[in-house]
Amino acid sequence: MSGTPATSAAVSAWDLPTRVFHWALVGLVLSAWLSFEFSEELNDPRLVWHRWNGLIILTLVVWRLLWGIAGPDNERFVSFVRGPRTTFAYARDLIRGTPRRFLGHNPLGALLIVTLLAVVLAIAGLGLFALEHNDNATGPLYRFAGEARAKVLTRWHRLLFENVLLLLIAVHIAANVFYAVVKREPLIAAIITGKKPAGSYVDADAAQPLERPILRALLLLALAAGIVFGSILALGGKLP
């Protein structure tokens, strides 16, 4: 069994903006589901809460894409998204019980993260054109789709959530539990504390901090909000 050497030393793995994004997205996806499933109990027939959740989720995903370009080195897509050969090699070594250790995302984890982001982006994007609840709730860009096309897009909006995103979330949770219990790699703790045990990692010995990361993250968040809400308003869309 491959494990992390016992040590009290810890090194930086995930910065604060990345960790806040992760848990905010978890909370918002849960909130979006609850606000849809219990809209009647919440006296929200027009799905105002659900639609605001969707817009904020879309903003956060756009922020993460920007952070993947202008964030810290280990959070940039070019540093952790790897090709099929490297990913298959890592999977083979994992099955053999001899996987290499990564401070950031390992190749399989990177594939899962990128897929999750793509699916969440697709669901939120489809929601912009959705038609829900007996035609009582529409996405801000519904008029560009029309009723017939909007119903098709809404069906895909639901199918991606129910049949794809929930499965990916289950895989994500199972993988984190597997690494924590079997491989003794505290991935769950790391996304809370931002730290991993010091050791020998393939990609880096420790995450290199940015100068003024909070300010950069907030500026990119403002840019992401401008892209999402500015585009909607520029196209004549209506906010919830």
Tell whether 113 is covered by a domain.
Answer: yes
The pLDDT assigned to 3 comes to: 42
The pLDDT assigned to 169 comes to: 97
> Does residue 3 or residue 65 have the better pLDDT?
65
For residue 113, pLDDT beyond 50:
yes
For residue 2, pLDDT beyond 70:
no
The pLDDT assigned to 211 comes to: 86
Instruction: Quick: pLDDT tens for 8-53.
Output: 588 888 999 999 999 999 999 999 999 999 999 999 989 999 999 9
Return mean pLDDT, the chain.
90
Tell whether 222 is covered by a domain.
Answer: yes
The pLDDT assigned to 224 comes to: 98
Tell whether 5 is covered by a domain.
Answer: no
The pLDDT assigned to 135 comes to: 73
Average confidence (pLDDT) over 91-114: 90
pLDDT category at 4 given cuts 50, 70, 90 is: very low
Average confidence (pLDDT) over 100-104: 87
The range of the structural domain enclosing residue 109 comes to 17-202+217-234
Q: Residue 112 and residue 175: Cα distance in Å, rounded? A: 10
The pLDDT assigned to 89 comes to: 92
Per-position b or e across 70-98, b if 16+ CB within 10 A of its CB: ebbebbebebbbbeeeebeebeeebeeee
For residue 112, what are the contacts with CB-CB under 8 A and spacing of at least 6? 168, 171, 172, 175
Measured CA distances, 104 to 48, 123, 131, 239 (Å): 37, 26, 40, 37
pLDDT category at 110 given cuts 50, 70, 90 is: very high
Tell whether 212 is covered by a domain.
Answer: no
The pLDDT assigned to 209 comes to: 79
Instruction: Quick: pLDDT tens for 172-197.
Output: 999 999 988 888 888 889 999 989 88
Pick from 92-96, 103-107, 221-225 the range whose average pLDDT is largest.
221-225
pLDDT category at 208 given cuts 50, 70, 90 is: confident
Report the domain count for the chain.
1
> Does residue 119 or residue 181 have the better pLDDT?
119
The CATH number given to whatever domain includes residue 170 is 1.20.950
